[in-house]
């Protein structure tokens, strides 16, 4: 093989590229006193709720610009932080898509917004994401649904063929944690995929996947979403939960001025775990992420609290400690 097949493009087989249908899906997140919110369309009615989706129009210079454009039109206010999540394109994304020659792709984005007021109604509303992932909210300890999940998992392990048993055990332990383990709030996608595989989630049956649990065993405590949107949402939550640990993205969800406890409650809502107040305070102080405004607020229910603001000038770096690489070799100069 010489240079043939290169001129037309960069395709390995020389067979050219395929046309595909592409849209954008957005996990748009806001924080409220009550919990983490995500924007969904078509609440109520006989169809399942779906993430806002829009077309990928060639007139925008970047994909992200296209996303911002239609989301801002849809919600009526501008997006803050935006990041690409993942491109979803399994052939069974859409039950109806099988047999098509052209694949249907969806580029998922995560967006954080401060406002939650605009454009309610219009077929669109904010929902707590824990409606769709009740097992991800461990703030008040393990929720009800967890016992049903653990039962399901136990059955799936018990009825495993001999040689798959250990594998299933360790996968379950990795995702949901064993007795003494600390809950790892980042593994949202892993947990969802395990439940999907076991068949505890209705999408698995909808997609016609072969799974252990019968359709009736699917968890009723959790609501489903259109197509693979629950998977996309899980990806978004995972990414956000990971990111708040090493980048100051929470502040994209906060009002301009806030108290330590408000900040803590927001982080807790996103992470789905409760935190230790004094240590949270010191961690944030220590990182130099906030500064005092001088003002205080008495809407606290207790002693008045100082109002803080995010130090925007910190965005320069904050490398995030990133475990794993030991110190560099000291270089004699």
User: Site residues for a copy of itself, window 7-66 (CB under 8 A)?
Assistant: 9-13, 15-23, 25, 41-42, 45, 47, 50-58, 60-63
Per-residue mark of binding to a copy of itself, 79-118 (x: CB under 8 A):
-----x-xx-xxxx-------xxxx-x-x-----------
State which residue, 11 or 78, has the beta carbon closest to a copy of itself.
11
SS3 label, residue 86: strand
Region 285-304 residues binding DNA, contact defined as CB under 7 A: 286, 296, 298, 300-304
Q: How far is the CB of 7 from DNA (least distance, A)?
A: 47
Q: What is the rounded (10 degree) CA torsion for 322, 251, 38, 147? A: 50
Among 116, 274, 305, 306, binds a copy of itself (CB under 8 A): 274
Local structure of residue 261 (DSSP, 8 states): H
Number of residues that bind a copy of itself (CB under 8 A): 98
Phi-psi region of 124 (alpha: psi -120 to 50; beta: other; left: phi over 0): beta
Long-range contacts of 320-328 (CB under 8 A, 24+ apart): 320/245, 320/246, 320/247, 321/246, 322/246
Query: Residues 23, 76: contact at Cβ < 8 Å?
Result: no
State which residue, 20 or 295, has the beta carbon closest to a copy of itself.
20
State which residue, 169 or 186, has the beta carbon closest to DNA.
186
Selection from a copy of itself, DNA, none that 306 binds (CB < 5 to 8 A by kind) is DNA
Region 158-217 residues binding a copy of itself, contact defined as CB under 8 A: 170-171, 173-174, 182-186
Selection from a copy of itself, DNA, none that 246 binds (CB < 5 to 8 A by kind) is a copy of itself
Residue 124's beta-bridge partner residues? 41, 121
Among 109, 135, 192, 260, binds DNA (CB under 7 A): 260
- Measured CA to CA in angstroms, residue 170 lies from 5, 188, 196, 210, 288 at distances of 46, 17, 17, 21, 39
State which residue, 128 or 259, has the beta carbon closest to DNA.
259
State which residue, 161 or 319, has the beta carbon closest to DNA.
319
Q: Report how far residue 88's alpha carbon sits from residue 230's, in angstroms, rounded to the nearest whole number.
A: 12
| Candidate ranges 143-151, 193-201, 215-223, 311-319; the one touching a copy of itself (CB under 8 A) | 311-319
Q: How far is CA 206 from the centre of its chain?
A: 22
Selection from a copy of itself, DNA, none that 260 binds (CB < 5 to 8 A by kind) is DNA
According to DSSP, the β-strands at 305-310 and 290-297 are antiparallel
Number of residues that bind DNA (CB under 7 A): 26
SS3 label, residue 72: helix
The three-state DSSP-derived secondary structure of 148-197 is HHHHHHHHHHHCCCHHHHHHHHHHHHHHHCCCCCCCCCCCHHHHHHHHHH
Q: At a CB cut-off of 8 Å and minimum separation 6, what does 84 contact? A: 63, 64, 107, 108, 109, 110
305 is an interface residue for a copy of itself by CB under 8 A: no
Query: Residues 112, 29: contact at Cβ < 8 Å?
Result: yes
Q: How far is the CB of 48 from DNA (least distance, A)?
A: 36
| Candidate ranges 99-107, 126-134, 183-191, 279-287; the one touching DNA (CB under 7 A) | 279-287
Element (H, E) at 58: none
State which residue, 208 or 288, has the beta carbon closest to DNA.
288
State which residue, 160 or 273, has the beta carbon closest to a copy of itself.
273
SS3 label, residue 284: helix
SS3 label, residue 88: strand
Residues near DNA (CB under 7 A) are: 259-261, 276-279, 281-283, 286, 296, 298, 300-306, 321, 323, 326-328, 330
């Amino acid at each position: 093989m010489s240079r043939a097949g290169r001129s037309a493009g960069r395709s390995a087989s020389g067979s050219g590229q395929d046309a595909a249908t592409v849209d954008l899906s957005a996990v748009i997140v806001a924080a409220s006193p009550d919990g983490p919110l995500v924007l969904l369309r078509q609440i109520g009615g006989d169809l399942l709720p779906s993430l806002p989706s829009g077309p990928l129009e060639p007139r925008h210079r970047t994909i992200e610009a296209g996303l911002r454009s239609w989301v801002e039109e849809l919600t009526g206010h501008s997006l803050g932080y935006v990041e690409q999540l993942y491109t979803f394109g399994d052939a069974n994304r859409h039950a109806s898509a099988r047999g098509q020659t052209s694949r249907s792709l969806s580029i998922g984005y995560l967006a954080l917004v401060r406002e939650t007021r605009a454009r309610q109604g219009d077929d669109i509303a904010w929902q707590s994401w824990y409606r769709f992932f009740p097992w991800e909210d461990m703030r008040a300890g393990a929720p009800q649904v967890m016992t049903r999940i653990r039962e399901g998992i136990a059955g799936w392990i018990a009825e495993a063929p001999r040689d798959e048993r250990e594998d299933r055990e360790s996968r379950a332990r990795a995702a949901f944690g064993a007795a003494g383990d600390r809950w790892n709030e980042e593994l949202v996608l892993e947990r969802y995929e395990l439940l999907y595989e076991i068949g505890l989630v209705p999408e698995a049956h909808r997609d016609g996947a072969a799974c252990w649990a019968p359709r009736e065993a699917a968890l009723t405590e959790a609501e489903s979403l259109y197509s693979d949107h629950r998977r996309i949402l899980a990806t978004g939550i995972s990414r956000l939960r990971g990111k708040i640990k090493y980048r100051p993205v929470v502040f994209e969800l906060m009002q301009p001025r806030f108290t330590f406890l408000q900040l803590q409650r927001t982080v807790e809502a996103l992470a789905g775990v409760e935190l230790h107040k004094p240590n949270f305070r010191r961690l944030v102080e220590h990182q130099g992420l906030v500064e005092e405004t001088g003002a205080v607020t008495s809407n606290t229910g207790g002693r008045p609290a100082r109002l803080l603001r995010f130090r925007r000038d910190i965005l320069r770096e904050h490398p995030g400690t990133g475990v794993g690489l030991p110190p560099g070799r000291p270089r004699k100069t």
